[in-house]
Structure 1
């Protein structure tokens, strides 16, 4: 490991806050715990070392320091409590779904089928790209794995068929294809609870901070009016903005057909994976809806994480994946330590009373403003401050507790609506910059979208997405 300024920056942040005079209304213990939390967030933003290591070290320091529980035994139990969080296991388990998609090649087949069916003209190709992400999203919690690992390798072959290479010829068709894929994955990441790992982390934070909880179905229904509309509009808006020179693309459809022919008929594992994903969707929707009874469950409720365990067990029994695949999925276990540490540290801020202090202090300037005005200001802050983050998860961990705490301190504020608007914005905000979300550097580095273009497109689509939150989702949530 190389030591540089990024390695020492978290220590500098910790020391600066630790030595700073304790603000009125807080005690030294609360302030020093915040110093640890701020250092962890700094390390996550700068990626001083692997994110799992940053969170683990921060959790250890907080536990040994006894900031939340002074008794060593109770402090250890606090440190370990996050490892039993169902949302953390939901994230890890859903990563395993990606292994099934990849090993069975079902994900590749779905994308190629859509390209073959819709790719005879350039606009149709855009819809094929967007629909590929849409169909994969409910069971792929990493937009990096989904868009970067499945969709991108397929669509990166398309521009070259028309002589569209990175650089001067990128505008022929490459810019449009790449931007449509990137803009679409931002929408699907917000549309489905299980389409973006930080969604679960944010919900856990909201639940611990203000007691808000929603099911998989409730999440989808709350965002569907905007999400489904954007899935229709994104390829069209991208077509107008990117102005591809190539208008028809019959060769691409033929290429996808050839790739499918080379794959042959659906294999046994593909059929099994397809059936298991349908089963997971069925259980997520019906199992979390009180009015719908699932006959073979013996109950009308089943936790979303339990569904993941069921599907993974069936994947193992049927041979779609092997246990070795799970053990060797490095990203899943890094996320496990990363999210566990982060959620525990974030909940600690609330347990020691720091969040209550923030709410009291930062709500004072907003007193006198109407709750809707305050809500719009808080959601705007939460959305656009993402320009300063390269990780959606670290953004959620650092900013969401503060926004919810401030909102809860405003009389008559519909905190549940505020929480949902913030959580729905997590996927959408990934579109605004070349570093805003996992797949962004990949599309930015493809060479098909220029530096100026990427920032300009990101701002434009960010404004469209943000306007949709305020003018479509907010009225919908209020009406419901």
Structure 2
């Protein structure tokens, strides 16, 4: 029996086992059956007997066929603005790759500061950060744009997998990977799961987080982590080469090959800056983040930076639309049918002996290190985020503090293992860092990130008046 068949049978078994378990007191049969099928969908996301989008589509179909939800209720999630924000951001990101503007930005940063291995590390990470607001895929950003540059630099400096890996390449790849979770956390549009968490938080707690509020809340802990991590990695995992003036020369050569800034690159750059301005001033201009993203994509289509063929070929956008739309809709219905409030009350009662701070702290630690069992940030979010937020708020934790702390934790756990985020297999597969070292560094920097994001972050959010 193949692994995919075994996983499919396990998913069906779990769904049936929960479905036919007696309905707990205080819940309706409809809420319990919806929970059973949603658990099956989430397990399907984790085990992936079929692609995630296919699992979501089949799950929605079963929910409709079993009369657990109506057709309208089952498809309601696809009208969510968060879904279309991510679709638009994927299309925006395609422009950076298609025009070459992403590579140009990385080489410009490298040319400016890249005369030592530490500075090259910062240059690679800064390039990733610059691209993040309009690139919701860490695989496309860190894997498709930054990785080839980092790998090429390592080779040019005589650092290859094996005996020379520690010369420079191992540090370059680790500094990008260890800062990738921070980059994902900095902006709502930097990771596909972030708008999903915003949507789930709204369903569970009723609070609304705008693009600007997210960026402001992330700014101080994010920049602190961004400044410290490359330097700390340089201390605990030092490269053999310290000064690499040839890195600037490599960047200059690559920029010469690329030639002058093209009209398409210039149009994309202006559109990007305008979109950032509108996102950051949404409280003043009253434009929803999704509206701004759609305006930007429309401008790129009108200017022919993107063609309609580019749009329909952006598989990541439409795959995300299917699976994320299903989750948003099902999560909303779970709350409406009473399951989320019931679960939060039950779990908070079990933790009633703990003060809210201890309860929230415990949930954050559990969330962080349970990621050892996940190969996807979005699957982890789908499985645990809404429930953990509900439990913490029910225990008395301030809603904004809870939503932000768990949302940022959901990003910074990316670097724990070589499989815990989309760029992981790409960077580990390069062969520069041995597996035990990879996991050791992942654990060390998970502690660093928790101290910064939850410690410094909580103080910053207090200053902002969010709790």
TM surpasses 0.5: yes
2:413 to 424, 429, 451: 429
Moved more, 41-50 or 375-384: 375-384
Distance, in Å, in 1 between the alignment partners of 2:449 and 2:440 is 14
Structure 1: state its 5+ residue gaps: 69-74, 293-299
Q: Deviations over 1:56-101 (max 9, x none)?
A: 1111211222224xxxxxx111122111110000000000011110
Distance, in Å, in 1 between the alignment partners of 2:30 and 2:76 is 21
Q: Deviations over 1:424-469 (max 9, x none)?
A: 2222110111111111111111111110111001101111111112
Corresponding residue for residue 297 of structure 1: none
Retained in 1: the 8 A contact 2:77–2:330? no
Q: Deviations over 1:374-424 (max 9, x none)?
A: 22122222222222211211211221121122123224x212210111112
Residue 2 of structure 1: how far off its partner (Å):
8.6
Corresponding residue for residue 72 of structure 1: none
Corresponding residue for residue 323 of structure 2: 338
Q: Normalization by structure 1: what TM-score?
A: 0.93
Name the SS of the counterpart of 1:320 in structure 2: coil
2:443 corresponds to 1:448: no
Corresponding residue for residue 469 of structure 1: 453
2:126 corresponds to 1:131: yes
RMSD value, Cα:
1.5
Q: Normalization by structure 2: what TM-score?
A: 0.96
Corresponding residue for residue 101 of structure 1: 96
Corresponding residue for residue 236 of structure 1: 231
Corresponding residue for residue 317 of structure 1: 302
Corresponding residue for residue 296 of structure 1: none
Distance, in Å, in 1 between the alignment partners of 2:39 and 2:353 is 31
Retained in 1: the 8 A contact 2:56–2:322? yes
Distance, in Å, in 2 between the alignment partners of 1:351 and 1:388 is 29
2:397 corresponds to 1:402: no
Name the SS of the counterpart of 2:279 in structure 1: helix
Retained in 2: the 8 A contact 1:316–1:323? yes
2:257 to 246, 259, 262: 262
Moved more, 145-154 or 160-169: 160-169
Distance, in Å, in 2 between the alignment partners of 1:103 and 1:188 is 22
Distance, in Å, in 2 between the alignment partners of 1:213 and 1:3 is 39
Name the SS of the counterpart of 1:129 in structure 2: helix
Q: Deviations over 1:285-328 (max 9, x none)?
A: 11x22xx3xxxxxxx30010000111111101111110110001
Residue 332 of structure 1: how far off its partner (Å):
1.0
1:275 to 270, 274, 298: 270
Distance, in Å, in 2 between the alignment partners of 1:479 and 1:379 is 21
Q: Deviations over 1:340-364 (max 9, x none)?
A: 0111122222121111121111111
Residue 470 of structure 1: how far off its partner (Å):
2.4
Corresponding residue for residue 457 of structure 1: 441
**Superposed counterparts of 1:58-207, under 5 Å:** 58-68=59-69, 75-207=70-202
Corresponding residue for residue 355 of structure 1: 340
Residue 3 of structure 1: how far off its partner (Å):
4.4
Distance, in Å, in 1 between the alignment partners of 2:238 and 2:453 is 27
Corresponding residue for residue 38 of structure 1: 39
Residue 264 of structure 1: how far off its partner (Å):
0.6
Retained in 2: the 8 A contact 1:379–1:418? no
Retained in 2: the 8 A contact 1:9–1:43? no
Corresponding residue pairs, total: 463
Residue 366 of structure 1: how far off its partner (Å):
1.7
Retained in 2: the 8 A contact 1:164–1:173? yes
Corresponding residue for residue 365 of structure 1: 350
Name the SS of the counterpart of 2:203 in structure 1: helix
Name the SS of the counterpart of 1:157 in structure 2: helix
- Flag the 1:4–1:65 CA change in 2: closer, same or farther, 3 A: closer
Distance, in Å, in 2 between the alignment partners of 1:474 and 1:162 is 42
Name the SS of the counterpart of 2:408 in structure 1: helix
Q: Please list every run of at least 4 consecutive aligned residues from structure 1 whose deviation after the TM superposition is greater than 4 angstroms.
A: none
Name the SS of the counterpart of 1:156 in structure 2: helix
Name the SS of the counterpart of 2:401 in structure 1: helix
Distance, in Å, in 2 between the alignment partners of 1:405 and 1:2 is 35
2:389 corresponds to 1:388: no
